[in-house]
C-alpha cells in the first residue's frame, strides 16, 4: 500500500493509509515477533544533521527489530557536509547505498529537496521549525491507543508553538479528523505561525489561541506540552525570558480531567515537573515506545513487506 512512498509532511499519507499503519503497529505491539526478520537484507540510512535521541534510536531499533540494518551519521561534523558537500550530493550517495533514507536537517524544506534527488524513499525526521511527520504518527497512535479514538476531542498545545515542528505537523493532521477542537496556549512571541492558522481556517477547524493555561486546562482531553526551542532563537535573552512561561506542576494538573492524557514529544527541559511522571495521566514515555512500533509499521510498509 505504501511501498516506495516518501513521507515529507503528514498529508502525504491519506487517513486510510495512516489507519493502516496504526493497525499494523498495534499488531506488532501485541506480538513482537510479527514481521520480525521481514526486512532482512534491507538497509536504512539515518542522516542526522541535528541532534536526536528518540527519533534516531527508535528508527534504528525499528529497522533492527525487523531484521534489517542501518548505516549513517548522528551529527554532520562526521560527514562530508563538514567539507562543504551539498545536501543533494550527500543524498545521491546515501540513495545509492541504502533502500530508504531517514533524515533530520535544520533547514525547512530540506527533506522535500532530498526527496527530489533520491532514488529511494525519504522519511522526514524533522526539517527545521517546519514538520516532523513521524512524530505525528507517534502522537496519533498514542491518542488512539490510550483514548480509543482520534475524533471528538479537545486537544491543547502548550509552549513554543512558533518553532515547535511537532505542533505544526500534529495540528494539521488532527484537523483532518471529525469534531476536533484545538487550543493553542503560548506567550504572544511564540504563537502558531500564520501559515498553519490559515490552513486550519480553510478547513473550518475549531481553534482558539490563549495565554491562559489555567482557564483552558479543564476543557482538555489531550494536553500536548512542548519545549521552548532554544536552538531556533536568534537571541539567548529572549529564550531565557520565555523558557519557563508554562511549567506543568501538580497544581495545574489538578485542574485537568481525570481521563486527560499528557503528551510531550520529548526531550523535556523544565516544562513538565518530574513529580508529574507518576501521575497516571502522564503518557509521554509510553508515547516514545509507540514511536518505535509505528516506525516499524512505516518501514515495513514503505520497504514493501508482502503483507503490507
Ligand atoms: C522533537 C523534535 O525534534 O522536533 N523531538 C523529537 O523528535 N521527539 C521535539 C523537540 O526537540 O523539542
Q: Is the residue at 175 inside a domain?
A: yes
Q: Which of 33-37, 61-65, 102-106, 125-129 has the lowest mean pLDDT?
A: 33-37
* pLDDT score recorded for residue 127: 98
**Three-state secondary structure call for residue 113:** helix
Question: 142 with 120, same domain?
Answer: no
According to the 3-state scheme, what is the secondary structure of 226-262? CCCCHHHCCCHHHHHHHCCCCCECHHHHCCCCCCCEE
Tell me, yes or no, whether 157 and 27 share the same domain. Answer: no
C-beta 79 within 6 A of ligand 1: no
For the CA of 55, the nearest atom of ligand 1: 7
**pLDDT classification of 308: cutoffs 50, 70, 90:** low
What is d(CA 177, CA 204) in angstroms, rounded to the nearest whole number?
12
What is the extent of the structural domain holding 43?
10-131+291-302
| Distance from the alpha carbon of residue 230 to the mean position of ligand 1, in angstroms | 12
Q: Could you give the CA distance from residue 247 to residue 253 in angstroms, rounded to a whole number?
A: 10
| pLDDT at residue number 307 | 58
**Ligand 1 pocket, residue 291 CB under 6 Å:** no
Q: Are strands 261-263 and 222-225 parallel, antiparallel or unpaired?
A: parallel
What would the pLDDT profile of 153-189 be if each residue is shown by its tens digit?
999 999 999 999 999 999 999 999 999 999 999 999 9
Q: Is residue 307 part of a domain?
A: no
The C-alpha cell of 137 is what?
A: 504518527
Give tens-digit pLDDT for 242-269: 999 999 999 999 999 999 999 999 999 9
- Check residue 79 and give its pLDDT: 87
* Cβ neighbours of residue 38 closer than 8 Å, sequence gap 6 or more: 66, 67, 300, 305
- Retrieve residue 185's grid coordinates: 496556549
Q: Establish if 116 belongs to a structural domain.
A: yes
Residue 166 beta carbon below 6 angstroms from any ligand 1 atom:
yes
Together in a domain, 106 and 238: no
Cell representation of residue 187 = 506567550
172: its cell numbers: 494539521
- Statement: residue 72 has pLDDT above 60: yes
Domain annotation covers residue 4: no
CATH number at residue 93: 3.40.50.1370
Q: Tell me, using a 6 A CB cutoff, whether residue 159 lines ligand 1.
A: no
Both 126 and 259 in one domain: the answer is no
Looking at the fold, whether 127 and 140 belong to one and the same domain comes out as: no
CA nearest 96: which of 117, 67, 119?
Answer: 119
Q: Ligand 1, residues 48, 50, 55: which to mutate, most atoms within 8 A of Cβ?
A: 55
Exposed, middle or buried by CB within 10 Å (0-12, 13-18, 19+), for 58? buried
Give how many domains the chain has, as a whole number. 2
pLDDT value of position 232: 92
Q: Which residue has the cell 503528514?
A: 10
Collapse the DSSP code of 186 into the 3-class scheme (helix H, G, I; strand E, B; otherwise coil) and give the result.
coil
CA distance 132 to 188: 23
Amino acid at each position: 500500500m505504501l511501498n516506495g512512498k516518501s513521507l515529507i509532511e503528514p498529508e502525504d499519507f491519506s487517513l486510510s493509509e495512516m489507519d493502516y499503519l496504526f493497525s499494523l503497529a498495534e499488531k506488532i505491539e501485541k506480538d513482537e515477533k510479527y514481521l520480525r526478520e521481514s526486512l532482512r537484507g534491507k538497509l536504512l540510512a539515518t542522516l542526522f544533521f541535528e541532534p536526536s535521541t528518540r527519533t534516531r534510536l527508535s528508527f534504528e531499533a525499528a529497522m533492527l527489530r525487523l531484521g534489517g540494518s542501518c548505516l549513517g551519521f548522528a551529527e554532520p561534523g562526521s560527514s562530508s557536509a563538514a567539507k562543504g558537500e551539498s545536501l543533494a550530493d550527500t543524498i545521491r550517495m546515501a540513495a545509492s547505498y541504502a533502500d530508504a533514507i531517514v533524515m533530520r536537517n535544520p533547514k525547512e524544506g530540506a527533506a522535500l529537496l532530498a526527496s527530489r534527488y533520491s532514488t529511494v524513499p525519504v522519511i522526514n525526521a524533522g526539517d527545521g521549525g517546519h514538520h516532523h511527520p513521524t512524530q505525528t504518527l507517534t502522537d496519533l497512535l498514542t491518542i488512539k491507543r490510550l483514548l480509543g479514538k482520534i475524533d471528538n476531542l479537545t486537544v491543547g498545545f502548550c509552549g513554543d508553538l512558533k518553532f515547535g515542528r511537532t505542533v505544526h505537523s500534529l495540528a494539521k493532521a488532527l484537523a483532518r479528523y471529525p469534531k476536533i477542537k484545538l487550543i493553542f496556549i503560548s506567550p504572544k512571541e511564540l504563537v502558531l505561525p500564520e501559515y498553519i492558522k490559515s490552513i486550519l481556517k480553510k478547513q473550518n477547524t475549531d481553534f482558539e489561541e490563549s495565554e491562559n493555561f489555567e482557564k483552558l486546562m479543564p476543557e482538555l482531553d489531550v494536553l500536548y506540552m512542548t519545549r521552548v526551542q532554544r536552538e531556533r532563537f536568534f537571541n539567548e535573552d529572549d529564550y531565557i525570558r520565555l523558557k519557563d512561561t508554562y511549567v506543568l506542576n501538580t497544581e495545574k494538573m489538578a485542574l485537568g480531567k481525570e481521563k486527560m492524557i499528557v503528551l510531550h514529544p520529548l526531550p523535556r527541559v523544565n516544562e513538565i515537573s518530574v513529580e508529574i511522571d507518576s501521575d497516571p495521566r502522564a503518557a509521554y514515555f509510553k508515547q516514545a515506545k509507540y514511536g518505535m512500533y509505528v516506525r516499524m509499521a512505516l518501514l515495513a510498509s514503505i520497504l514493501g513487506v508482502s503483507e503490507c
